[in-house]
Structure formats: C-alpha cells, structure tokens
Amino acid sequence: MAFDKLRKFIYRRLNVYMHREMKAPLTVGYDQIRIYPTAVGFLYLGICFLLFILGINYQNNLIIIICCILLSVVPYVILDTYKNIRSIILEPVETDNYFAGQSVRFKLHVTCDHPRFAVKIAPMKEDGIGEFRDTVSSGEDIGIIFHPQQRGWLESGAFIITSTYPLGIICSHIVIDFHQKSLIYPRPVTGKYQLTENASSTGSKLASSSTVRGMDELSGLRPYREGEPPSLIAWKQVAMNRGLMSKDFTATVDENLYLDFNTISGGVEDRISIMTYAVLQLSSSGQIFGMKIGSETLEPDHGEEHKVRALTILALYGKNNGSSTL
C-alpha cells in the first residue's frame, strides 16, 4: 500500500514527462514503457546483495554461485515483462452518459497478437477503482470505474497500465490519457412540480396545440397490431370481412407548457434533481413540454432527443468550467 502511494506520488511529479497527449488507437512501443523493480523485486535484489556480501566475507564460492544464479534470472524477467505489454493496441471506447450515483466505467479496447498476463489498470485519480486481469486476450475491454456523486462532466484522467509478469519482481508500466469523459446527469429525486404556460403565448392556445396518440377522440382506423387489447378492435369491420382493424384515438395537447426552475421550491441542487425526475416522467408519458432554468430556455418538444437536451442543460447548469470535480 505504501509502495503504491509512493509510486503515484512520483507519477504526479513526473507528469510533464510521462503524461503526453496520445492519439487513438495507440500501439504501445518501447518509448512508452517504463521498467522498475517492484517491492518484492527490491527484496529479491537485497537478498542477492546480502548473499554476495556473505560469500565474499566468508570466501564461500557456493554462496557466490547461488547469488549469480539468482541475478542471472533478472535480465530474462525484464525482457519477458517488457514483451508482455509491448505492441498492445489500445483504443478508447465511447462512454455513455449516466446519472449521479451510478457506476461509470471508462473502457479501453485491447487488440494484441497473443494473450497478455497479469495486467493491471489503475487511475491517476484517487477516487477511481482499477482492475486486475490474470489474462487479457485480443478483443477484450479493460477499464476503471468511478462513482460520481456530482453532476457535470466527469473526466477519466490518465490510466496507469502495469504488468508484473512473470515472477512479480519486475514491473513494466505505461501512462496514457485519451481524455475520455462522460456527462453525469443530476440524480433524479421525487418531488412536486407543475407545468406552467408561457406568458407570451397567452391567448393563442388554439394556435399552439397539437394532436398526439391518446384516448380522447376517434381519429380513424389502422391495421391491427399483435398484442393490442380486444377493446381497440373494430368489430364492425371484422363482421364486414374487412380484416382486423384497430381504432386509432388522438388527444389534444397544449404545446406551451414549460417546466420552470423558479416554480419549484428548495435549494438549487434539490430543484435540479426534481426537474430531472420531471423530465424523465414527462418524456416517458410522451408529454410535450419546454423547460426554463436560469438564462436557458428549451422550446417545447418531445421524444428521446428532447429528453437528452433537457438532461444536458440540467447537468451543466452553473458549471462554469464545464467539468465535474469529484
């Protein structure tokens, strides 16, 4: 544990040297690989040094031979651990957007000519969780996990990929950063909200209404879809041998309704969480709605793209730097 903290401290101090911008996909070459002894490796070399001192002091050739045999293993281990991560092709995988409190995994896609062993990936950030793989084959993904609690942009930061194959006494590592990020939506919280009519549209309700599929008025007939309830079947058409037809209903929806930040009580983050809940509820029901928060105004619409636009506005509201700091 102490060795890992020391290693991360050194990485941060040498960040300018090691942390260079890289283009994807990246083929790991000799200029990116750093090799050093692990904690067990330092112990191994220390034992070899003690054996050498004992052999010289007591003029014992057998101890010196044992020391030389142990040291002769080191060059082969260095070569093997170097080959274990050399020529790996790494490519960032696009990350989805998540809600605060959910697990976010930044992934790298691995392409290699043969399986690689004892591979560990860890984040430079303290709040990330890495993973260790005994074997990594071509076509697999490796990554790190974050548990963001705040909305806004979450950046992955640099990755540290290490391998201690084959004996665990020598470590080879690379530091990469593809600048991956994910937009963290606010955590939805159940609360009271209401849709208000846009003041500028008062008196023009008829001009701003539309019809959507609902259960208010019968608008016509359409072909029957498997799984629809029998109450929607036009039985008169069946009796006239015209095949299975379903009744199609429409409902009139006011398009001037807005979800307004100022009409919701509570603190800023509480109101944003309630608005996030409202956006999810209204979108799932197909409601046409707009949104007002601060200087941002989202015109009324519906559908998946509209929901994403609304959640994006809520996630970035008040984030001047455009990045979430966890």
pLDDT tens-place string over residues 186-209 = 999 988 888 887 654 443 333 344
Question: Bridge partners of 186?
Answer: none
Average pLDDT over residues 106-111: 94
Average pLDDT over residues 122-146: 91
Angle between helices 39-57 and 61-85 (to 10 degrees): 160
pLDDT value for 203: 39
Model confidence band, residue 223 (pLDDT cutoffs 50, 70, 90): confident
Nearest to 52 by CA among 65, 64, 69, 66: 64
Is the pLDDT assigned to residue 244 strictly greater than 90?
no
The mean of the pLDDT values for the chain is: 82
**83-95 pLDDT tens trace:** 999 999 999 999 9
What single-letter DSSP state applies at residue 208? G
Model confidence band, residue 311 (pLDDT cutoffs 50, 70, 90): very high
The share of the chain scoring above pLDDT 90, in percent, equals: 48
Own/partner contacts of 203-211, CB < 8 Å, gap of 24 or more, are 204/256, 205/254, 205/256, 208/254, 208/255, 208/256, 209/252, 209/253, 209/254, 209/255, 210/252, 210/253, 210/255, 210/288, 211/250, 211/251, 211/252, 211/253
- Amino acid type, 27: T
Collapse the DSSP code of 130 into the 3-class scheme (helix H, G, I; strand E, B; otherwise coil) and give the result: coil
Q: Is 54 buried (19+), middle (13-18) or exposed (0-12) by CB count in 10 A? A: middle
Model confidence band, residue 288 (pLDDT cutoffs 50, 70, 90): confident
d(CA 121, CA 247): 58
